[in-house]
Amino acid sequence: MKAVEPNVVARFFVDDPDDAEARRQRSAALAAMRGRVFVSVTVLLELEWVLRGFYALPPTETHRALSACGPTKTW
């Protein structure tokens, strides 16, 4: 199982069509998020900060992204 870092998860959830670098990184993030991935609690905490602080997403959108990450356990 792959582990991902916060920027990959942020690019997966946030589409920024006005930023050419973001478009390139988004396609890489979509590929990285295929299949099962491990998202640690630390990654979730930083993702929340990025979505809220940098992207200024409303709480409902931030909650939706965090909820979509599902459980953070591996078996």
Q: Where are the domains of the chain?
A: 2-68
Which tens digit of pLDDT belongs to each residue from 52-72? 999 999 999 999 999 888 765
Task: Output the pLDDT for position 63.
Answer: 92
Contact 11, 32 (CB under 8 A): no
Which tens digit of pLDDT belongs to each residue from 2-59? 899 999 999 999 888 888 888 888 889 999 998 888 889 999 999 999 999 999 999 9
Task: Output the pLDDT for position 74.
Answer: 43
Task: Output the pLDDT for position 73.
Answer: 43
Q: Which contacts of 57-62 are long-range, i.e. CB under 8 A and separated by 24 or more positions?
A: 57/14
Task: Output the pLDDT for position 71.
Answer: 66
